A and B are shown apart, each in its own frame.
Chain A
Amino acid sequence: MAKLRTRSKSTPAGISKCPTGIQGLDEITGGGLPRGRPTLVCGSAGCGKTLLAMEFLVRGATRFDEPGVFMFFEETESELAANVRSLGFELPELVRRKRIVLDHVRIERSEIEETGEYDLEGLFVRLEHAIDSIGAKRVVLDTLEALFAGLPSEAVLRAELRRLFHWLKEKGVTAVITAERGREHLTRHGLEEYVSDCVIVLDHRVHERLATRHLRVVKYRGGMHGTNEYPFLIGDDGISVLPITSLKNDHKASSERISSGIPRLDAMLGGKGYFRGSTILLSGPPGSGKTSLAAHFAQAATQRGERALYFAFEESPNQIERDMRSIDLQLAGPVKRGLIRFHPSRPTLYGLEMHLATMFREIKAYRPAVVVVDPITSLVVAGSTSEAQSMVTRLVDFLKTEQITTLFTSLVDDTRSLPQTEIVMSSLMDSWILLKDVESNGERNRVLHVLKSRGMFHSNQVREFLITDSGIDLVDTYLGPTGVLTGAARVAQESLERSNSLRIEQELARRQSALLRKRAAIEQKVAALRSEQESNEDEFRRFDARARDRVRALDVERTKMGQARHADALKGMHAASPSKNGKSR
């Protein structure tokens, strides 16, 4: 009682929560089970009640420093230890370290004779002793209803169970009581009547021959909780509950870009490729090159020194390696260096839950930077549409939280009429690239286009791509009257354009030489004219010289004639002084 009082004093008003440590369950319940109160977990046989209860206890003992008592009424201790060892819980070790007490209550109806009034004080003493021996904070009563089969008087039992639940609350332990699912009530013996704080229902349904487990919080007094039915998985490391829509949607969005592995595809994606941590859906019909594109993506990661995890649901790793070798993608090397890990599995091998659990575990163990799921459609057909959607949602959520860039390939029959699942799935994806087969002129060619790519400018061009022996390449675009030309039509167009351009070049050259010739001719003419001018000038100079000589000669002649004819008059007529001078001389 003293313990109880200190506990209730230390916890704030309202409901304090006791984390279960079970992946997803604490999210749904907003932090865990009601602390210091009993929780009823009911479900049909084999739906995982015992495992859930045990994980609650083991996590408490190992993570939250809350030792626990596991009191069980049906299995034997060795059976129980063997069952939970498959989840990686080492019970004997926890028992040895006094973190957990296992108490098997064996009731043999045939050995018991009722001879009068009794109560279950023995059970109380026993439980209290177990709790006190290790200071337990958590208690599990696994299939308490076995008491109804083992003890004769139901009236006594009911009164005692009521007292037990009350006692557990007083004791201040967080208890999980498991019970079989009943036909009319939640539990076969109506235990829900005694547990009013929290009731969780588990079930195990088979849909299309594949079993899926579900968990639902039916009741949670005074607490907010997800009311949906959530699928849950039992994996190698315990239970994980998958909220259909994650309660948190707040993963950070990186603006870092990473290459698609094909430079010209990067160019179409705003020049830089995908965002890190984004999801890419690659839809296409069979043989459209999905795996090749995916392998390029994975290889690009290894070239950055990052790790790539490749979930192969259709082909074996060997086959992928061989096929990719034919287009000069060497995957064996990165695989050997541990940069690529293939995880092959058959989609039909088990249900969605197990696939998802396996994928989570692989991703957590390998910690890759990029993940390829090839193809996601194989998984989607393994469950119903809504299950598949919830699974993909959960997977995408998980990958985004981990900042892992993921490429999902998706097999579609006809890209003109996409199936509903594809549309639904695509809304979870950041980038959606559609691969198509284009049939024309009696041949089939591959084209791709980026249907959407959030947060970046992306090309709206439909591009033909070739799978060559040196990898995938996007070729130049040729538009014809009917759209993008592919294959032979593109080649024809290419050669047509080539010959056109050749013709133009030739014409240009021709004109250029003609021009040169003209210029030469003109230059020649100019030279001729210039020389003509020069000869004219020469002639003039000669004439000029001759003319001067003539004038001088005439002058001399006249003087001579004057002297001869004594032309003084003439001399006087011309100038008085010179003739005077001449006369004096």
Chain B
Amino acid sequence: MTARKTARRKPAAVESETGRWDLCLYVAGQTPRSRTALANLKRICEVHLSPRYRIEVIDLLERPELSRSDQILAIPTLVRRLPRPMRKIIGDLSDTERVLIGLDLRSADRS
């Protein structure tokens, strides 16, 4: 049901771009929360974006300088780099509804 609704909205957001989704998940070390976030993200992408998505996981403990350049405060943070405009979603992504709203896959007023 959710898939059909997003399918109706999705083309508008994607058509202007190449149709690819570029997502970036910022974590700080392999914590249970970051593992949960990554698992949630993969699940949502499989359901709603497959196969036109790419996920990059950035561990700030390894690349701390990115916390500044990418303006990351909260962990975990999911950044939608493509399609434009950029979106930021914080939390472990367990609230699927809010993730979809955050990713512009569903309008906020429907929730």
Contacts and interface: CB of A to CB of B under 8 A. Distances in A.
Given A126-B67, A128-B64, A130-B68, A115 B98 contact: yes
B34 to A, nearest CB: 9
A124 B68 CA distance: 11
Contacts of A120: 73-75
Nearest to A151: B74
Interface string B75-101: 111100000001111111111001101
Nearest to B31: A121
Interface in B53-85: 60-61, 64-65, 67-68, 71-78
Interface string B21-53: 000001010000100110010000000000000
Contacts of B26: 122
B33 to A, nearest CB: 6
A114 B98 contact: yes
A111 interface: yes
A212 B63 CA distance: 47
B86 A111 contact: yes
A111 B103 CA distance: 10
Interface in A103-148: 103, 105-108, 111-126, 128-130, 147
Chain B interface, >50% SS class: mixed
B28 A125 contact: yes
A118 B76 contact: yes
B99 A106 contact: no
A106 B68 CA distance: 10
Contacts of B40: 116
Residue in B67, B72, B78 whose Cβ sees the most chain A Cβ within 10 Å: B67
Chain A interface, >50% SS class: mixed
Contact of A113 (B33, B71, B98): B98
Contacts of B86: 111
Give the interface size class of chain A. Answer: 20 to 34
Contacts of A123: 67, 73-74
A128 B28 CA distance: 13
Residue in B72, B91, B94 whose Cβ sees the most chain A Cβ within 10 Å: B91
B76 A129 contact: no
B21 to A, nearest CB: 16
A105 to B, nearest CB: 7
B75 to A, nearest CB: 4
A355 B77 CA distance: 51
A126 B72 contact: yes
A445 B91 CA distance: 87
Contacts of A112: 74, 88-90
A91 B98 CA distance: 42
A325 to B, nearest CB: 65
Interface in A82-114: 103, 105-108, 111-114
Contacts of B102: 113, 115
Residue in B77, B86, B89 whose Cβ sees the most chain A Cβ within 10 Å: B89
Given A113-B102, A129-B65, A122 B94 contact: no
B58 to A, nearest CB: 11
A129 B68 contact: yes
Residue in B64, B88, B89 whose Cβ sees the most chain A Cβ within 10 Å: B64
A111 B80 CA distance: 11
A390 B74 CA distance: 48
A118 B90 CA distance: 7
Contacts of A106: 71
Contacts of B89: 112-115
Interface in A441-458: none
B92 to A, nearest CB: 4
A126 B91 CA distance: 18
Given A105-B71, A112-B90, A122-B26, A117 B64 contact: no
A55 to B, nearest CB: 24
A121 B94 contact: no
Contact of A115 (B61, B67, B91): B91
Contacts of B91: 114-118
Nearest to B89: A113
A115 B74 contact: no
Nearest to B102: A113
Contacts of A114: 89-91, 98
A146 to B, nearest CB: 11
B17 to A, nearest CB: 18
Nearest to A123: B73
A119 B75 contact: yes
Contacts of B92: 115-118
B33 A126 contact: no
A123 B86 CA distance: 20
Contacts of A118: 33, 74-77, 90-92
A122 B88 contact: no
A121 B75 contact: yes
B94 A115 contact: yes
A107 B88 CA distance: 10
B68 A115 contact: no
Given A113-B87, A116-B95, A129-B65, A122 B72 contact: yes
Contacts of A117: 33, 91-92, 94
Contacts of B75: 118-122, 125
Contacts of A125: 28, 60-61, 64, 67, 75
Given A115-B98, A118-B33, A122-B74, 18 more contacts: A107-B71, A111-B86, A113-B89, A113-B98, A113-B101, A114-B90, A115-B78, A115-B94, A116-B37, A116-B93, A118-B77, A118-B91, A120-B75, A122-B72, A122-B77, A129-B68, A151-B74, A151-B90
16 contacts: A113-B89, A113-B90, A113-B99, A113-B102, A115-B78, A115-B91, A115-B94, A115-B99, A120-B75, A122-B60, A122-B67, A124-B28, A125-B61, A126-B73, A128-B64, A129-B67
User: Lowest 7 CB-CB distances: which A-B pairs, in order?
Assistant: A113-B102, A116-B91, A129-B64, A126-B67, A121-B75, A116-B92, A116-B94
